[in-house]
Amino acid sequence: MKIKVCGLKYSDNIKAVEELGPHYMGFIFYNRTPRFVADIDADVLTAIPSSIIKTGVFVNESVERIDELIEQYDFGAVQLHGSELPEFVAHFKDKVQVLKAFGLNEGFDFEVLKGYVGKVDYFLFDTKTDIHGGSGKTFNWDILNKYKLDVPFFLSGGLGLDNLDQISKITHPQFYGVDLNSKFELEPGLKDIDKLKQAFSLFKQDNTHEIRS
């Protein structure tokens, strides 16, 4: 189970999360969210070890601007959280890992994902809202049973200590990782390290159980 911690913006907090050893750390370049990193010092991000995949999160941003920020912050992945089409997404495929996010609800049509196959490395399934993530709301995870493609996915949307134990019950073969954000915060963009430590411990226990079984 891969762990992605998203929505970081404060230097000391970024360092503290880094020391927990997540697989991915996400930085949001979307100015309509309180987790917007604005003009964070590039040195803060480039100091993160290569074992952690730094991920730039964008919402309907231009190709040119994303390319510029990949170079500036040495991103190893981009997460596209808007209405980006497959042709747009394909531009980044050979440069960095590509995560394409989709908001899910009961009426979601998984057929729309087929056009992205071969152009993304992962899907990220979040709760459908009007704010492009960070809502703290979950969706009905039974919807995932309708997903039949061979592209691995991250689960996002309202994951917290109150429901992480239920994640082990998700047996979908493409379930790759979790995206931890708003329910692990002291305030928007400031992660609660104690809560994250508990979550990391839970996932390590689950992974150990899977190996032993």
pLDDT digits (tens, 9 = 90+) for 37-64: 998 999 999 999 999 999 999 999 999 9
Please tell me the least confidently modeled range out of 38-42, 103-107, 129-133, 150-154: 129-133
- Give residue for tokens 């747009």: 88
Name the pLDDT band for 211 (thresholds 50, 70, 90).
very low
What phi, psi does 184 have (nearest 5°)?
Answer: -120, 45
The mean pLDDT of 103-130, rounded to a whole number, is 92
Query: What's the mean per-residue pLDDT of the chain?
Result: 92
DSSP-derived letter for residue 78 is E
Alpha-carbon distance of 4 to 21, in angstroms, equals: 10
DSSP-derived letter for residue 191 is E
Name the CA dihedral angle for 38, 39, 42, 43, rounded to a multiple of 10 degrees.
-100
C-alpha dist (Å) from residue 137 to 5, 128, 152? 16, 9, 22
Question: pLDDT digit string (tens) for 165-201?
Answer: 898 889 999 999 999 999 999 999 999 999 999 999 9
- The closest alpha carbon to 196, from 48, 18, 45, 26, belongs to 18
Q: Inform me whether the pLDDT recorded for 202 exceeds 70.
A: yes
Q: Inform me whether the pLDDT recorded for 132 exceeds 80.
A: no
The pTM of this model reads 0.92
Tokens standing for 140?
Answer: 């009905």
Name the pLDDT band for 139 (thresholds 50, 70, 90).
confident
The mean pLDDT of 17-34, rounded to a whole number, is 96
- Give residue for tokens 């500036």: 72
Alpha-carbon distance of 63 to 69, in angstroms, equals: 10
Beta bridge partners of 98: 78
Q: How many residues does the chain have?
A: 213
Pairing, β 190-191 against β 185-187: antiparallel
Name the pLDDT band for 135 (thresholds 50, 70, 90).
low
191 within 8 A of 11, measured Cβ to Cβ: no
Return the SS3 of 162.
coil
